[in-house]
Chains A and B, each alone.
Chain A
Amino acid sequence: MTAADVDTGRAQPAERLTSAWQAPPGLPGWLMAVNHKQIGRRFVFTALGFLLVGGLQSMFMRWQLGGPEQDVLSPDAYNALFTMHGTTMMFLFAVPILEGLGMYLVPLMVGARDLPFPRLNAFGYWLYVFGGFILYWSFVTGSVPDGGWFAYTPLAGPEYSPGSNLDFWLLGVTLVEISGILGALELVIVILRHRAPGMALHRMPLFAWSQLVMSAMILFAFPAVVVASLLLEVERKTGAPFYDPDGGGNPLLWQHLFWIFGHPEVYIMLLPATGVISAIVPVFSRRPIIGYAAIVISQVAIAVLSFGLWVHHMFTTGLPPLVLAFFAVSSALIAIPSGVQVFAWLATLRFGRPRWETPLLFIAGFIVIFTLGGITGVMVAAFPFDAQVHDSYFVVAHFHYVLIGGVVFPLFAGLHHWWPKLVGRQPSESLGKVAFWTMFVGFNVAFFPQHILGLRGMPRRFYTYPDEYGWGALNLLSTLGAFAFAAGVLVFVTNLVRTARSGPEAVDDPWGGDTLEWATSSPPPPYNFAVPPVVTSAQPLWNPAPAGADPTAEAVLARLADPPAGVREQPITTAVDGRFRGVALLPGPSYWPLVTALAMAVAMVGVLVDNVPLVVVGASGTLAAIVGWVRPEAGTVGMRRHELGDVLDGRRSTGVWGAAAGAAVLAVLLAYFCYAHLYLAVSVETWPPEGTPPLPALRPAVLVGIICLAAAASVRAGRPRHRGADRLPGAGLLGLGAGVGVLALAGGASMLADLGLSGTERAHDASLLVLHAFVGVIALAGVGINAFAAYQAARLGDHPWVSAAAAISATWWTVIALSWAAVAGVVYGWPQLLGSGG
């Protein structure tokens, strides 16, 4: 039952395998890197940097609050610091580090060689870096965001925040959230399509389950804040009054959209952290986890329930008591699956033989702190209690217990546990233990007194308090505890950094782990597994698969140890039962992800500084970079069809899964735009407002929809037939699809022009314009995809690139037709159904 029992063929990797997967040396190789381990490590290191920065900000705040009426910080500086501290911790530290850990570990755990779209992954990393850069550039320009980490309107709107502070926040956060969405797409697809043969869903490591659930949640939750931010940025730049009651908007729309994202966000951070725990507890208890199925089911239940809780952040906004009751019930019930997980870990510890080493100590710390945070969570889920403590230090204490207990402690457990795999060196146990005890004691001294301060009425987000309120002593204690906690964090990070430079070399499996990452060397080779493994158990290292468990798969997998020169191959399996299906080809290092992200960031900066030429340069640069990125010569997919062998292409390729997942994200984005429109329609007294021009009947909209469907149909007909296809019909029909698409765009645009809407005066009109623009932009992209695919089809004929592009284009046009159906239904159909005709 050791790593050596799993035959990954690591002993003698073929030369070609190493050279196919290795990144080029030096700075160019660093800039072009796409491998999941490099990118995952970068996410982890960058996010750790942001943790230290966010921590430093909190130290200044605690210093200021350590005594009454201090003037370490001005009121404005305090506003800026709590905003940037919250934003940094939530957007730049917690989610990226957990996703980064997933990017590094999940492919190893499921027996894959890389993420399915390595370049997209690198692109996501650069977006994250540029998003963070934009947020922090605000310190240089002196316009630091100061509207709180949830940037409520109307405070964040153009009237009360006229400077560019909030623009930095909105644009920076949008880039970071797009990066989060891309990472989630990668993780969902690697888990569903690239697991080791035999790894059916009931044999998947619990850490991978938690990453799957987290990623699915991100795909549904992050688009809400992207939509909210886009609408607010449009309002700030153009005056379109989405959130302004004077123009028929509603400031509460922001709160709804933000918390539809914000509440799941808490679980998006917690669930992967619990995945870390479920990975560590069995290893350090030296027995399989008790309640595997119960943990998986609890994770899914928590994820779903978390999407029905957003209103519990709005208990004091004047919603009817019955609505509050609905959400209070659902909020309280989330305690059941949360509790089930805790009991499963405790039972595993009780019936195992625990080794109290650093990772397990951090888990024990988690159980104590998170349970206390959970108890205060159930208290604030009762809205009469919430009404008393809302916006007080009780809430500050509650969410730090949940976030630091639920995210930082398990994460540190995971970092210590997997550090040997990440850097190839073993961290010091004694320093790890010193860090744990300092953090544990420091944390409780810092945050427990805040419950009492909150109950005594101390409000959050106040930069100081008068002496006579008697809050000084507890605040001083809290500050001392915070400094102790920070010292513990520094010891922990120092241990990691020192180890990475000069620690003892780590063996392959220092803890006696049960999952596949421990079957590789520390750190793993660039291709992870010379021969990708087959598994027959949920603990593949403790119960290795017998030879011949899946002879078909094994025959193909054995050949992957010796690939054609420069070719990166990765197995594909079925989503539910993990049966072997074939092989995917992955692209190698490239500058395009960096260039594309840079161009996008330039466009964002153009918006920020109101510089139209800069926006144009950025946008056209982005477009050009995308063309450079996807052209057939840029990837390994330049192989001809007869060279492909076991490779799945066209409709069966991973690219089509990517397109489908991308389409799902677009659908979610559109759903939130429609939600915003409908929310305004039902919450605003006169809708549509007086003076709104009447909308036309449904008929022209139906016509535009039919044209979109025609475009989809022509693309489907134009897909090259696999063997011996005639090249002209493929190119011709793809081109026809592009032409029909232009027709649909022209039809939609002329309908819109006829309406005579005024987006800057009325929220109703602005919302209609946004909905139309959304479909217009994706249709424009569809025309671009088709035109480019038609050109390549004419050039290359029946080529795998063309069949993949045609399959993607067919999916895309179906999405456009469905999106238009949704918009037409909301804009033209719904008012007619209600008889308002407007």
Chain B
Amino acid sequence: MAGTEARTRTAFAGSRPHSPPEAVRALLLASVGPALWFGHLNASYLLVPPSCEWRHGWAFVVVTAVALAGISGAGRRSWALWDPRSHDGPTVVRFLGMAGVVLAGLFALTTLLVGASALVVHPCH
């Protein structure tokens, strides 16, 4: 087992125990848009039979508004991490920030269109 002792003495100088929280935060923020869209789609699906019973589509408006508020909040925070005006080179945090902004935009649009279809098609049809 030559070399073992030398190995044992090596410490991970310079390596910290966890990923920097900022990078992990950026990753979590980027996943908010997709997660809320998915929740919104399923909630809207489940709301169709009760909405027909209530003869009103207000529940769709409420869930859409809540989902859009969440998505845009996450998108704004991601924007701050991306900081497109910064002259720093690409870093993983800026990359994830940009992903957060674009995903928030795309999933806000999808959520909006799903919610809007409830205004056009009646739940009892």
Contacts and interface: CB of A to CB of B under 8 A. Distances in A.
Contact of B96 (A201, A307, A556, A644): A201
A300 B110 contact: no
Contacts of A305: 110
Interface in A256-311: 293-294, 296-297, 300-301, 304-305, 307-308, 311
B57 to A, nearest CB: 9
Given A321-B125, A559-B3, A297 B14 contact: no
A326 B109 contact: no
Given A201-B92, A559-B7, A308 B37 contact: yes
B110 A323 contact: no
Interface stretch (A25-33, A150-158, A434-442, A577-585): A577-585
B92 to A, nearest CB: 4
Nearest to B94: A202
B67 interface: no
Interface of A: 200-202, 293-294, 296-297, 300-301, 304-305, 307-308, 311, 320-323, 325-326, 329-330, 333, 336-337, 551-552, 555-556, 559, 562, 564, 574-577, 579-582, 642-646, 682
B8 A301 contact: no
Interface string B90-125: 111001101100110011011001100110111111
Contacts of B18: 574
Given A326-B45, A330-B114, A564-B4, A645 B23 contact: no
B8 A581 contact: no
B16 interface: yes
A333 B92 contact: no
A322 B122 contact: yes
A323 B125 CA distance: 10
B123 A322 contact: yes
Given A300-B34, A301-B34, A580-B12, A325 B96 contact: no
Contact of A325 (B14, B49, B110, B117): B117
The main secondary structure of chain A at its interface with chain B is helix
B3 A320 contact: no
A579 B23 CA distance: 12
B10 interface: yes
B61 interface: no
Nearest to B120: A325
B59 interface: no
B62 interface: no
Contacts of B23: 576-577
A311 B42 CA distance: 11
A551 B13 CA distance: 10
6 contacts: A293-B98, A321-B125, A556-B10, A564-B2, A576-B19, A581-B15
A575 B34 contact: no
Interface in B27-59: 27, 34, 37-38, 41, 44-46, 48-49, 52
Given A202-B96, A308-B41, A581-B15, 19 more contacts: A200-B92, A202-B95, A293-B95, A293-B98, A301-B107, A308-B38, A321-B121, A325-B117, A326-B117, A329-B110, A329-B117, A333-B110, A556-B10, A581-B12, A582-B12, A582-B15, A644-B8, A645-B6, A682-B49
Contacts of B114: 326, 329-330
A337 B95 CA distance: 17
A293 B99 CA distance: 8
B92 A576 contact: yes
A323 B48 contact: yes
User: 8 smallest A-B Cβ distances: which pairs?
Assistant: A645-B7, A202-B95, A325-B117, A304-B34, A200-B92, A576-B23, A552-B14, A329-B113
Interface of B: 1-4, 6-8, 10, 12-16, 18-20, 23-24, 27, 34, 37-38, 41, 44-46, 48-49, 52, 90-92, 95-96, 98-99, 102-103, 106-107, 109-110, 113-114, 117-118, 120-125
Contact of B38 (A304, A577, A580): A304
Nearest to B101: A297
Contacts of B109: 333
B20 to A, nearest CB: 7
Contact of B99 (A297, A574, A643): A297
Nearest to B51: A322
Contacts of B12: 552, 580-582, 646
Contacts of A326: 41, 44-45, 114, 117
A645 B19 contact: no
Contact of B10 (A307, A574, A646, A682): A646
Contact of A301 (B4, B16, B106, B118): B106
B92 A577 contact: yes
Contacts of B19: 574-577, 579
B15 A552 contact: yes
A320 B117 contact: no
B29 to A, nearest CB: 13
B97 to A, nearest CB: 11
Contacts of B92: 200-202, 576-577
Contacts of A564: 1-4
B5 to A, nearest CB: 8
A645 B99 contact: no
Contact of B13 (A300, A330, A552, A576): A552
Given A577-B19, A581-B12, A322 B125 contact: yes
Nearest to B38: A308
Contacts of A311: 45
Contacts of A304: 34, 37-38, 107
Nearest to A326: B114
Contacts of A300: 34, 99, 103
A202 B110 contact: no
A337 B91 contact: no
Contacts of B125: 320-322
A643 B4 CA distance: 6
A645 B10 contact: yes
A330 B2 CA distance: 60
A323 B3 contact: no
Given A322-B118, A330-B41, A564-B4, A577 B20 contact: yes
Contacts of A574: 18-19
Contacts of B3: 559, 562, 564
Nearest to B99: A297
Nearest to B42: A308
Contacts of B113: 329, 333
B117 A322 contact: yes
Contacts of A336: 106
A577 B91 CA distance: 9
Nearest to B1: A564
Nearest to B106: A301
A329 to B, nearest CB: 5
Contacts of A322: 48, 117-118, 121-123, 125
Contacts of B8: 642-645
Contact of B95 (A201, A308, A644): A201
Nearest to A560: B7
Contacts of B2: 564
A200 B19 CA distance: 11
B51 to A, nearest CB: 8
A200 B94 CA distance: 12
Residue from B7, B14, B124 with most neighbouring chain A CB atoms (10 Å): B7
A202 B19 CA distance: 15
A646 B15 contact: no
B107 to A, nearest CB: 8
A289 to B, nearest CB: 14
Residue from B19, B49, B118 with most neighbouring chain A CB atoms (10 Å): B19
A410 B45 CA distance: 36
Nearest to A565: B1
A670 B19 CA distance: 30
Nearest to B9: A645
Contacts of A682: 46, 49
Contacts of A325: 117-118, 120-121
Contact of B110 (A330, A562, A643): A330
Nearest to B16: A579
A642 B99 CA distance: 44
